[in-house]
Amino acid sequence: MPHPPLPPSAGALRDAVHAALDGGPAVVPLPRTTTAAVPAGTALVVRTSGSTGTPREVALPAAALRASATATHARLGGPGRWVLTLPPTHVAGLQVVVRSVLAGTPLTAAHPDARFTPDGFADLLEPALDAAGDEPVYASLVPTQVHRLLAAAHDGAPRGLTALARCAAVLLGGAASPPPLLERAGAAGVRVVTTYGMSETAGGCVYDGAPLRDVRVRVRPDLSGPPPDRSGVVGVVELGGPTLAAGYLGDDAATAAAFRTDADGSRWFRTSDLGRLAPDGTLEVLGRADDVVVTGGVNVAPAPVEALVGELLDGEACVVGVPDDEWGQALVAVVARPTASSVLNCSSNSGIEEQFSTHVAGGGGDLVPVDDAALAAVRSAATTRLGAPSAPRRVYRTAALPLRGPGKVDRSGVVALVREHEAHA
């Protein structure tokens, strides 16, 4: 049976999600890509970002969404009002709507055609904060948005950042959050809660490294063996618990590969990410398993290098492997420092798949190599802290990194950008 299109207003969307959670038709925010039937009990059908290949349709049961939202409120300190600045075509935006429904509070949402700007964000958030009284107000953002609020405040336009600091908590996910960004936000009084999760887990299910209530986390270096019984071992992250999706619509093979059931009946989703558990059980995500760069025969996980480069050069870094005759892959870093004048389109209507993409101009004119002193400093720090293989061979600055999905860096786009630049250098 065909599903109705995404409602044109926030109020209508909230009503549709409310009905779906209560057993009504599933909300399907983007046109279907398969003709597979939607399983009974499904409340949302969302697409994956496609960062590991072809986007898939994920069926999220109402029970999984309820478990996620209830656990989120428990972690944050109780239900409250939610402000929607993310597109409700991806799981992060839709979960804001779900939490609003289950909290029984009004939903504040950007105009369908609005672009994210610091002053526009303040215009949206300030009335919600004033109307809430003693009720907590929560927002969910991606790192790029926080970058721009901080940049605006630095440039003398602090309204957006000031309003953000009045929120009871700000969920920050969709991409890795550079430590300098978190430090600056904290210094500004913003209570940031970093989230880790994906469409297949009903969005974020690990907050500040700790799993939400009833969520289970483990790492497995090898599928043929049991999970390690000690901390510090690097492996592929697996997530379990009540927030898991039913599977991928129309792709039984992919569902069977990603969702596995142990002998004890527990069900797990095998992510594409590498991670390790600390002695206290918190999770450190090291990046996607297929993002690992093999340079000179050594495996290098980009995430720690990106954190270091972003810290040293005060920006958002992406580290990739570029084909190289000597090293197989040369480690290259590209760093962007978003400015307040940049805009992030948060429209909730047509064209949403393109609205979070930064289209990179050809000709290689978007990259500027850092000077020799900066490159030497980066390489020295990386060698000291992470080991010589983790020292980038080249480092570039750019105005903005290409994105895929809300806040997710398009690594293949970064590789293409570097190769294009170096072919014309």
pLDDT at 404: 75
pLDDT at 215: 98
pLDDT at 298: 83
Specify the DSSP class assigned to residue 160.
H
pLDDT at 283: 95
Overall average pLDDT of the 232-249 stretch: 94
Overall average pLDDT of the 307-316 stretch: 88
- Does 361 score more than 80 pLDDT? no
User: What are the residues whose beta carbons fall under 8 Å from the beta carbon of 272, sequence distance 6 or more?
Assistant: 52, 236, 288, 289, 290
Query: Which three-class secondary structure string do you get for 261-304?
Result: ECCCCCEEEEEEEEEEECCCCCEEEEEEHHHCEEECCEEECHHH
pLDDT category at 359 given cuts 50, 70, 90 is very low
Residue (of 201, 209, 210, 211) closest to 270 by Cα position = 201
CB 36 within 8 A of CB 246: no
Alpha helices, DSSP H, located in 41-84: 62-76
3-state secondary structure of 422: helix
Residue (of 158, 143, 136) closest to 92 by Cα position = 143
Overall average pLDDT of the 232-237 stretch: 88
- Can you list the domains of the chain with their CATH numbers? 1-288 (3.40.50.12780), 292-424 (3.30.300.30)
Q: What is the mean pLDDT of the chain?
A: 87
Residue (of 340, 320, 339) closest to 330 by Cα position = 320
**Rounded Cα distance, 267 and 19, in Å:** 27
pLDDT at 6: 53
Residue (of 375, 389, 383) closest to 328 by Cα position = 389
pLDDT category at 320 given cuts 50, 70, 90 is very high
pLDDT category at 222 given cuts 50, 70, 90 is confident
- Does 351 score more than 60 pLDDT? no
The DSSP string of 306-373 is HHHHHHHHTSEEEEEEEEETTTEEEEEEEEE---TT--EE---STTHHHHT--PPPSTTTT-EEPPHH
| Pairing state between β 192-198 and 203-207 | antiparallel
How far, in whole angstroms, is CA 279 from its chain's centroid? 25
Query: In percent, how much of the chain has pLDDT > 90?
Result: 63
Convert the pLDDT of each residue in 294-309 to its tens digit. Answer: 898 888 888 889 989 9
- Does 285 score more than 70 pLDDT? yes
- Does 382 score more than 50 pLDDT? yes
- Please state the pTM of the whole predicted model: 0.79
- Does 242 score more than 50 pLDDT? yes
Overall average pLDDT of the 72-78 stretch: 97
Residue (of 316, 318, 312, 311) closest to 293 by Cα position = 318
| Pairing state between β 169-172 and 137-141 | parallel
pLDDT at 424: 84
Overall average pLDDT of the 6-15 stretch: 77
pLDDT at 355: 31
Considering only residues 176 and 157, tell me which one the structure prediction assigns the higher pLDDT: 157
pLDDT at 407: 65
What the block records as the tokens of 54 is 């072809």
Convert the pLDDT of each residue in 36-72 to its tens digit. Answer: 999 999 999 999 866 555 789 999 999 999 999 999 9
Q: Out of 116-125, 143-152, 200-209, pick the least confident.
A: 143-152
Convert the pLDDT of each residue in 103-132 to its tens digit. Answer: 999 999 987 677 889 999 999 999 999 999
Considering only residues 21 and 326, tell me which one the structure prediction assigns the higher pLDDT: 21
- Does 217 score more than 70 pLDDT? yes
Considering only residues 179 and 37, tell me which one the structure prediction assigns the higher pLDDT: 37
pLDDT at 207: 98
Give the number of other Cβ atoms within 10 Å of residue 351's Cβ.
9
Overall average pLDDT of the 352-365 stretch: 33
